[in-house]
Chains A and B, each alone.
Chain A
């Protein structure tokens, strides 16, 4: 980008890039807001999210597609159908226009592929050093059908825990590109919009679905701990049933990470009544984003709300809810 700390010329230029990339009937009206039709008789679901990722481009995606997928997924996890997105961009002065074009293009493509338009947006250019390249803030709305009330406090002992596929891909893709790690097979981010998969799951399991969550930052470990606390239950997860790609396992071994704590951007965990588990699993496996879905464990009664990994050895290793990064603990 040539110049313009808020200067009209550059700001207009930036705004135009996104208008071109997202073009749709609401955005094209050029208003400061979008006026939208909503299906009647359904409850509105709304979310907002911020995206700061380094590097901005990574194997399998970039900050733009990630922002679309992440926002859609947060809505979809309520069992809802996402309808509209908004996006706001903080761009650092001096950021290459070509890169901005790429981000906008990928974001537009992701939004079109998902069928969820970006209906309103904003751009700000800030001084050099006041941002790290590009930050994106989004909001999203969707609707949830009558009778579907997914919530993190609804897991009950005996429920089945289903994971939609391989874990750790996104985090490892990011770290690999940061460190220029090379593996025989490149690890790609799993960044994907899950609302199609969710729609199929809701259709198949309906009210038997207790809750769903996408294990993003903090990985599967953080998500299961959140659900355990919200529902006041424990989880017993069969370590061997959790799908981890060999190359992800190898990268984690090198980096000293546990894949359970590594971020995902295209996976979900579902807690479902036991009788619906097999049916749900079949439906998920029939969907491209749930092909590797697996039953990974069960909800158990546990006043201490432990998430335990059980191995073939029978021992129950607690999967902690870490305060931050994985600090060494072996003395």
Chain B
């Protein structure tokens, strides 16, 4: 659907009916329309219907009304369809908000949104009934997705059902001119949820270096003072998280500069209502060193819930109990907090107060809950700016369940995603609803959350899937669950799904070239794929080429222990004699080299992720990874300028081989910075040349780049520039993460085409 142009010069009917679709409900659209109609001196009505919002307006100011309808729409509204039809005049006076019309619910729930400026003003206004109330919200802000059980989006179907409105809130809720008109989560100190502890007590604990578990919008955070090295180290120890970077929360946009040096695009991104964690260049100085060890960038998130703002105000206000009245929430605030998901042992985020007592007792010194239940957990989203555009690393709170538009019709299906970084996708007509980040399906609790997410996403979309799409891998937990669903099942190859996901988010079905740069996915031939050049055309795809394979010694262990890939690389280079010297600290390095020499290792992989591991290991970086992708991330952090090694790669038939590059890295231990720069530069040059050659052969001028390696910004931006320079349009993952978080969407896209092709 497109937005119809409105020309003020065109003769306008006396009365028109306007139908709006998109994210137009639960966002304050009706009071906005009511106010606008009054402004323009129009009569008529507005109502919520099953397909969106219907407006009828009558009077002389219709053209102005229509122009302003779009220009001044409420902050959370997204108008995707706008249809105008002239109808006979009724000559009735007044403008009314009519009762919602029933029928099948095709409406939507919008994502959770950060507290809006108007609510923040009230939060710190001693005269307001919302003064210091940690749950203040309105139609422009507040929780949505995380408190909704099912459609329609209505208080009774949210976790606010248990909080009957007080007279003041009921009046606001019923008043079309009020910002809280039909704001489903509306609440005040008289009628709404309550925090278990005073904010002053939380601030006191944080000042004393304590770890606090804080119930937020999508789950509990573990919070501590980000400038207090002892506190951060304690949190690492208690959480059992050795090295993985923590995100830092600051009070507002004015405070970001204290911890980071964001570009304008990064600063803007951090301030969007979805309030993602945004990766930015860290500013050395205030932050405790163990917040983001060995990485140049730090994830920064701006306070997004009223509780966060109250806490920052309290921290800024000095000793406990200091009045926060008159606090300027826009002013720079020196406090900075580590805010990491409370997900002990890799389990899903803690969302329930009781559960928090049970699971966080050994980690947090103080557990702060509240009695507004979280229906659906949602981690913080994580983003970065790539080639000037915001891109996801993890998509959850603040963005789910915004659908991704599809350019083709197809059956409504469920796609179950991969095994790690799991998401699921439900399609409905020309929309794809991709779930929030679920996590790694190794753990039983995460798998239960996965099942809950499938049920919840189907409930809020009202979809009964005609089929289920899954990965080819027989032992992905998602594949096993899909098999048990009793629906027709389609199996989609991992990298075809990665490529299809990226192409489809750009509205392209093919023919298109795809470059999948990934960790591991089961190949159509049973092999271990991960660096693949693919031609995608509708439902069909073909592997055009791949990275020259390396042995994968020990399967998944090689992904956790990059030294194994280092040994594999030396074996491949015929330099096994150096294994003892380069991997002296690994007792199994010698036996592993012997196994490779004897030809006992049967698995070989074309994975670029494992090539990264091999390079990092050869350079003496991370021999063992404390978290997934650590070796690659630390290597990326060393790069100032990628440099290509002369003849660092060979294109041999359909394959590209980086053996000369690996050989150079094996001699560069003393200079890992140069090694990292050569690795990135040569990869970019080689992969671009290889891709451009295939593009010319295939007569294609676009390439979709997908797979977990594209989380590496140096690689993504380098390829983007090199491909552009070669005359091929690169398509980067923007709406979904490049890693397996986007896999379910790609599976859905391909599976729908497979079904449609079969008729």
> Which residues from chain A sit less than 8 Å from chain B, CB to CB?
179-181, 250, 253-256, 304, 306, 308, 311, 313-318, 320, 322-324, 326-331
Contact = CB atoms under 8 A, between A and B. Distances in A.
Contact of B494 (A250, A313, A331): A331
Secondary structure call for the A interface: loop
B675 interface: no
Contacts of A323: 474-475
Given A316-B444, A329-B419, A179 B556 contact: no
Contacts of B600: 179
Contacts of A322: 475
B176 interface: no
Given A256-B558, A331-B740, A315 B347 contact: yes
Given A317-B442, A329-B520, A331-B521, A254 B554 contact: yes
A313 B445 CA distance: 14
Contacts of A304: 444, 447-448, 451
Contact of A328 (B347, B418, B603): B603
Contacts of B443: 315-318
Contact of A320 (B475, B518, B520, B553): B475
Interface stretch (B395-403, B591-599, B723-731): B591-599
A328 B477 contact: no
Interface residues of B, number: 54
B217 to A, nearest CB: 25
Contact of A329 (B359, B420, B588, B591): B420
Contact of A330 (B347, B447, B494, B520): B520
B557 interface: yes
Contact of B346 (A253, A315, A320, A331): A315
Nearest to A180: B598
A250 B588 CA distance: 9
Given A331-B418, A331-B521, A254 B595 contact: yes
Q: Which of B473, B477, B520, B591 has the most CB of A within 10 A?
A: B591
Nearest to A311: B345
Contacts of A318: 441-444, 447, 477
Nearest to A182: B591
B522 interface: yes
B31 interface: no
A324 B603 contact: no
A327 B344 contact: no
Nearest to A236: B444
B732 to A, nearest CB: 19
Contacts of B250: none
B476 interface: yes
Contacts of A313: 240, 344-345
B148 interface: no
Contact of B560 (A180, A330, A331): A330
A324 B609 CA distance: 25
Interface string B426-449: 000000000000000111110110
Contacts of B418: 331
B739 A327 contact: no
A86 to B, nearest CB: 36
A328 B552 CA distance: 9
B519 interface: yes
Contacts of B528: 328
Contacts of A181: 591
B192 interface: no
A213 to B, nearest CB: 22
Contacts of B475: 320, 322-323, 327, 329
B555 interface: yes
A253 B561 CA distance: 11
Interface in B4-33: none
B628 interface: yes
Contacts of B605: 328
Q: Name the 6 nearest CB pairs between A and B, nearest first.
A: A256-B554, A315-B345, A323-B474, A330-B559, A331-B519, A316-B444
Contacts of A254: 554, 588, 591-592, 595
Q: Which of A181, A311, A328 has the most CB of B within 10 A?
A: A328
A314 B473 CA distance: 28
Contacts of A306: 444, 447
A180 B588 CA distance: 15
Contacts of A311: 345
A331 B555 CA distance: 11
Interface in B337-352: 344-347
A316 B708 CA distance: 26
A18 B600 CA distance: 35
B344 A314 contact: yes
A229 to B, nearest CB: 11
A329 B557 CA distance: 10
9 contacts: A180-B598, A253-B554, A304-B448, A316-B443, A317-B442, A317-B443, A320-B475, A323-B475, A329-B556
Given A320-B477, A323-B474, A179 B598 contact: yes
Given A315-B346, A323-B474, A328-B528, A253 B448 contact: no
A254 B553 CA distance: 8
B345 A314 contact: yes
Interface in B286-315: none
A250 B600 CA distance: 17
A256 B556 contact: yes
A304 B448 CA distance: 9
Interface string B61-92: 00000000000000000000000000000000
